[in-house]
Structure 1
Amino acid sequence: MRIVDNILELIGETPMLKLNLKDSDWNVYLKLEKFNPGGSMKDRMALKMVEDAEKNGLLKKGGTIIESSSGNTATGLAIISALKGYRFIAVVDHHATKEKIDMIKAYGGEIVVVGHEKKPDEVASAEREKAAIELAEKIDNSFFTFQTNNESNKKAYEDTLARELINDLKTVDEFYAAIGTGGSSCGTAMGLKKYNKNTVINVIEPYGSTIFNPIGAPYFQSGTGIPEDADIPKIIDYSLIDNNYYASDREAFNACRYFAKKHGILIGGSAGGVLYKAIEDIANKSGTGNAVILLCDGGEKYLNSIFNDEWMQKNDLLDDNIEKQLSMWLEE
């Protein structure tokens, strides 16, 4: 058992759960990032961005940290700010669930909400970033961490998550992750390919995201993908990515509900999309090897949406066929 002196020391070294597929010789492991202090993998990069900003003189004592976030990065930054004595302001939109906003506030963070004119299934990433930049210009001794263009985001996963996977498994043949800013997917890919250049990197984004297709469409999934009116993050390295897949909101959310009821695993929406598309791919793959599926956060922050029957029905997202398909692929 780890005993630490500071909650930040508990970031990383998250557990893995082995998943058994029917009629498959692949070893499938779920990397459960919900066990970070803030409940998501974003704690890793939040800490790295702050530490690097401190080292480079961009963030000074008593300063203000500002970030545009759907909620998970902001939660990590709120925790770090609380411990280091910084003021923290999160710029969010309506895609940030009430649970996420309440968590940020609980750690002392302040909330600025934009994108009020957006529809429920539209993401206001561009508006969030614009507002964050304006705040950073107005507030003295402030620093906008700017996760979409911050190399420390990517470096965090190269230094920690990739190393953990290699230490635990020795070899990773297939890696599956959501892609949004590109930090976790590309950063982990960089680290994994140092050990095995043949590791296959698979990324999953929502239908409607524009990372691999310039024609966008609305989607409900939060913290993943890039909407049509936002710029592609500068830290995405397409040369590291071997395959890309699209997960629909129905696939993502019904997969979350299935894993909660059948496997006792409560995960967030983008994690559900990754999990569904990864299992679909592995179930149709011959041979054997180690496959890792990165599950970015827990479902505790989505109890009033994904795990709420009324919300799912209202948005026409319930689909029993998704659960039936997963039951065909997985041992229960």
Structure 2
Amino acid sequence: MIFSKITDLLGNTPVIQLPLTQADSRLYIKVEKNNPGSSMKDRMARNMIVAALKYGRIQPGEMIVESSSGNTVIGLALASIEFGLKFIAVVDNMQLRTKYPSCARWGLRSVMLKVDYGENEVAVIERQRMAAEIASEISGAIFMNQSDNAANAGGYADLVREIVHQIGRVDAWVDCVGTGDSITGIAHGLKVHNPDTVIIAIEPEGSIVFSKPGKPYYQSGTGTPEGDTIGLVLDYSCIDYGEQVSDAYAFETARYLAQRFGLLVGGSTGGAIYKTLELIGKRIIKDNVTLVLVDGGEKYLHTIFNEEWLKERDLTAPEIWDQLDNWFASSTILECKS
């Protein structure tokens, strides 16, 4: 098949089934890092732009502005090229060495927010304020505001259709939660096909989505940091369980998956997989359990896959490898579905 533009490669990502010791459960992972921008955020980024063009909020040649932890910036950059738009990204220290460098190669303009924050802190409120301010000062520009943009969650309709086609009934869906776009859009879609689908939302320890105490955390692109507000996109009514995972367990699981299965995943996906296995082990969820590989570990080789970096920050947890071995069966990847 021959395509005419990069965004034609969006979607239709494969599903991998990993082997479990629990005979009554199957673990399916949709490999969203195979999207052209290497994450699931490509879907919602393009959908927000399509909606803005459809309803006349923006015209070709005009400017969009967005604040993002990285993956949304990449998706918006690709969609902006497709539709002939200009794009300014407002970023902070957490994106500099991970996701942002790839955007610069596409000619993306950026505004680096200079604030006195630690490397495990994100300046979400300040980023959003600056993005809105920049958009208000440029004629014809709009602030996409992904946290409150209804087209955000709507960007995952195709993903739901793909999953149902690939594996059939979904009994449990596990997803990271931050702005709430993916878990809201996917949960509503899956429940149309199976109203009994159990929805599990995972946030980092330190995130405030489920009103737990806030503190800094290193997991990127997930959760809501202390001091920020929960986005209007998030629909709590579609979530059955809210769980937290530590940075150390998330990163250690990502490293385990790379060495055991050759599967490079980002830290938030590592955390989601750890909690999924824990919940399967406790018999809270079973049968067809599904989640997404949000983005690839290639963006984090200098951090979560760097032993020295982890030890300097006390982010190692080698004790969980035995538990992971107990959860996974001895065979290799069972199946890959296109």
TM-score computed with the length of structure 2 as normaliser: 0.94
Structure 1 SS opposite 2:188: helix
Letter in 2 for 1:160: D
Are 1:305 and 2:307 counterparts? no
Conservation of the 8 A alpha-carbon contact between 1:97 and 1:302: no
Which residue in the other structure is 1:124 paired with? Answer: 123
Structure 2 SS opposite 1:160: helix
Distance in 2 (CA, whole Å) between partners of 1:240 and 1:130 is 29
Deviation of 1:323 (Å): 2.1
Deviation of 1:193 (Å): 0.6
Which residue in the other structure is 2:268 paired with? Answer: 270
Letter in 2 for 1:312: L
- For residues 180-218 of structure 1, the C-alpha deviation after alignment (integer angstroms, 9 at most, x for no partner) is 011101100010011111100001000010111153111
- For residues 35-74 of structure 1, the C-alpha deviation after alignment (integer angstroms, 9 at most, x for no partner) is 0000000000001000000001111121111111110000
Which residue in the other structure is 2:140 paired with? Answer: 141
Distance in 2 (CA, whole Å) between partners of 1:134 and 1:173 is 44
Are 1:75 and 2:56 counterparts? no
Which residue in the other structure is 1:59 paired with? Answer: 58
Structure 1 SS opposite 2:319: helix
Identity, % of aligned pairs? 43
Deviation of 1:92 (Å): 1.1
Deviation of 1:224 (Å): 0.3
Which residue in the other structure is 2:196 paired with? Answer: 198
Unaligned 5+ runs, structure 1: none
TM-score computed with the length of structure 1 as normaliser: 0.96
Unaligned 5+ runs, structure 2: 331-338
Conservation of the 8 A alpha-carbon contact between 1:253 and 1:269: yes
Matches within 5 A, 1:244-259: 244-259=242-257
Conservation of the 8 A alpha-carbon contact between 1:90 and 1:109: yes
RMSD value, Cα: 1.4
Say which of 322, 326, 329 aligns to 1:328: 326
Which residue in the other structure is 2:334 paired with? Answer: none
Alpha carbons of structure 1 residues 286 and 224: separation in structure 2 relative to 1, 3 Å: closer
Matches within 5 A, 1:281-300: 281-285=279-283, 288-300=286-298
Which residue in the other structure is 2:206 paired with? Answer: 208
Letter in 1 for 2:252: N
Alpha carbons of structure 1 residues 214 and 137: separation in structure 2 relative to 1, 3 Å: farther
Letter in 1 for 2:99: K
Letter in 1 for 2:173: F
Deviation of 1:135 (Å): 0.7
Structure 2 SS opposite 1:18: strand
Letter in 2 for 1:3: I
Which residue in the other structure is 1:181 paired with? Answer: 179
Matches within 5 A, 1:27-38: 27-38=26-37
Deviation of 1:126 (Å): 0.8
Q: Which runs of 4+ in 1 moved over 3 A?
A: none
Structure 1 SS opposite 2:175: strand
- For residues 73-101 of structure 1, the C-alpha deviation after alignment (integer angstroms, 9 at most, x for no partner) is 00011111122222211111111141411
Deviation of 1:23 (Å): 3.4
Distance in 2 (CA, whole Å) between partners of 1:269 and 1:258 is 11
Distance in 1 (CA, whole Å) between partners of 2:268 and 2:22 is 26
